[in-house]
Amino acid sequence: MASRESPLAGLKVLDMSRVLAGPFAGRMLCDLGADVVKVEPPEGDVTRMWGKVVGGVPGYYHQQNAGKRDICVDLQAPGARELVLELVRKADILLENFRPDVMPRLGLGYDALKAVNPRLIMLSISGFGHGGPESRRPAYAPIVHAEVGLMHRAHRRSGAPHTELPLSVADTNASLHGLVGVLAAVILRERTGVGQHVDIAMIDATLVTDDQIHYELEDSEGTMGLPNDVWAAGPGDILMSADFRHLFRQLTEKLGLKDPAAPDTPLAEKIRLRRAAVGDFLAGLPDWEAVEAAMAAMNIAWGQVRAGAALAEQPTIRARGSIAQVDDRAGGTRPIPQSPYRYSDAVSEVRGVAPHRGEHNETVLAEWLGKGEADVAALYAAGVLLRDEAQ
């Protein structure tokens, strides 16, 4: 039975990031047990505009910020920088994903933060990294997908027009590599007592995570295996991860499919006939049980081409509880992806609903800084602290 100990319990994280790359890193740290405090601007994270709104919380914002606490700070207000520095003195980790010139312009660059807390680990995620010729370019994931050749590769292989990918790979890759960098810095700090500034460029993270970039760099795409095929089976479309030549051989040897081609049939016609025979065989499988039995007999990896709305019924997702239900702030629950980290004797899990703007102003400042009601009231009066009164 798990001890229910969270691996990162006791770590304090200031999450000054927005949208995805930074907030996703903060969400994972929160799931792992850290006290993650989102520092949100008065206008709110832009993702508060995206997704289904339940209990005053939109879906996109909820997915990336569930379980965090929230203080709303106007960084332009007199006294705001000083408040952030007070929080930095207590923090273990700070996350930000502004362009590299923004934090220094606010007086919150790494050198300024290190001066008040030499143990601080700061994660900066940006499109093109710090110090390079494009460091100040604005970049969201689609920009990086275009720049590193992912969109062009998809176009070249499929023949479809250049289109955006259906998920933000560049953001999430940068976020996960940022987590690795941060947690390695935590271990290093135990030996040295010194913090780090971790500079993650989305373009670097996407390149290093691209398992097929060697084909591009060495102009060797002709050496790769045949692409996977999607086939129309009787109950629905399936993808099979198998070279067609291997698939055809398995069908003939294990399941009795007759070769429709003669030994002297020209190659192009032979391929056409064999593919048609495979298509007919798969279309004749009446249900998913028959599909599964056929794939098992051939020992071929395959998957249903599922609609996202039906993911809760995917057997492994259902069995592992990979979609959790959390409070929806409206008297019910809402679905959210669960933490993927499964430990033998510890726990990582989504810790609750995403916060409203400024929801935890009082409690965070009291717990982290020992500020009382009068101190907090003065910060409200000065325009440093704000909150979403409607919520």
Q: Give 125's contacts (C-beta < 8 A, 6+ positions apart).
A: 17, 21, 22, 25, 95, 96, 97, 174, 175, 178, 200, 201, 202
What's the token pair of residue 263? 């030994």
Reduce the DSSP state of residue 198 to 3 states and report it: strand
DSSP classification of residue 221: G
Beta strands in the chain (DSSP E): 12-15, 35-40, 53-54, 57-58, 69-73, 93-96, 121-126, 196-201, 229-232, 237-240, 302-304, 323-327, 333-337, 385-386
Ranges of each domain in the chain? 12-214+321-386, 228-307
**Strand, coil or helix: 336:** strand
Edge-to-edge strand order for the sheet containing 302-304? 229-232, 237-240, 302-304
Q: In tens digits, what is the pLDDT along the chain, a chain of 391 residues?
A: 446 899 999 999 999 999 999 999 999 999 999 999 999 999 999 999 999 999 999 999 999 999 999 999 999 999 999 999 999 999 999 999 999 999 999 999 999 999 999 999 999 999 999 989 999 998 999 999 999 999 999 999 888 999 998 999 999 999 999 999 999 999 999 999 999 999 999 999 999 999 999 999 999 988 988 888 999 999 999 999 998 999 999 999 999 999 999 999 999 999 999 999 999 999 999 999 999 999 999 999 999 999 999 999 999 999 999 999 999 999 999 999 999 999 999 999 999 999 999 999 999 999 999 999 999 999 999 999 999 987 6
Amino acid in the structure at residue 154 = A
In angstroms, rounded to a whole number, what is the distance separating the alpha carbons of residues 64 and 74? 22
CATH classification number, 12-214+321-386, choose in 3.80.30.20, 3.40.50.10540, 3.40.50.720, 3.40.50.920: 3.40.50.10540
Q: For residue 198, which of 176, 172, 171, 168 has the smallest C-alpha distance?
A: 176
Asked if 121 and 95 touch (Cβ cutoff 8 Å), the reply is no
- The 10 Å Cβ neighbour count of residue 126 is 28
Q: What is the pTM of this model?
A: 0.92
